[in-house]
């Protein structure tokens, strides 16, 4: 969520957005708990962009979730094959990556450290 909100902030988006996630059964409870922590430690400049609490819906009822599933599957496949030293040359992946620059958002150690710094989690962990 922080990456999406950061992108919107940098794009001068000024309206709150709501997140809709695929139904995950019991994992939805954990996701909502994680959201509460995220909300508490989100960077101040992103808080105005955060809409209501995330909701969970079935992907057959919310078509954008089907698109998200496709994107997630293609992305996982790309990284899995790359880690094996193979190239993923699927036309769907190429089109998605060319359109959205997915590889630019790879989660690296440096990116995770920046995420921790930006979300004030370091202060929270120091208090534990």
Counting Cα atoms < 13 Å in the Cβ hemisphere of 100 gives 17
78 by Cβ neighbours in 10 Å (0-12 / 13-18 / 19+) ranks as: buried
Q: What pLDDT is stored for residue 15 in this prediction?
A: 94
pLDDT classification of 77: cutoffs 50, 70, 90: very high
Largest CA distance in the chain: 48
Nearest to 3 by CA among 34, 37, 49: 49
For 13-26, write each residue's pLDDT tens digit.
899 999 888 887 77
3-class DSSP assignment, residue 57: strand
| Percentage of residues in the chain having pLDDT higher than 70 | 92
Sequence-separated contacts (24+) of 67-74 with Cβ below 8 Å: 68/22, 69/22, 70/96, 71/96, 71/100, 71/102
For 78-128, write each residue's pLDDT tens digit.
999 999 999 998 999 999 888 888 887 777 888 778 777 776 655 555 555
Q: Are 78 and 93 in contact (CB under 8 A)?
A: yes
Token couple for 76: 């996982």
């Amino acid at each position: 969520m922080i990456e999406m909100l950061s992108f919107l902030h940098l794009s001068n988006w000024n309206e709150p957005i709501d997140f809709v996630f695929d139904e995950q059964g019991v994992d939805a409870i954990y996701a909502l708990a994680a959201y509460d922590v995220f909300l508490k430690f989100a960077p101040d400049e992103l808080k105005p962009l955060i809409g209501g609490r995330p909701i969970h819906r079935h992907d057959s009822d919310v078509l954008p979730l089907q698109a998200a599933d496709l994107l997630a599957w293609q992305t996982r496949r790309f990284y899995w094959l790359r880690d094996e030293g193979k190239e993923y040359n699927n036309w769907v992946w190429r089109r998605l990556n060319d359109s959205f620059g997915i590889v630019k958002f790879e989660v690296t150690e440096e990116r995770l450290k920046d995420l921790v710094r930006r979300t004030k989690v370091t202060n929270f962990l120091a208090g534990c």
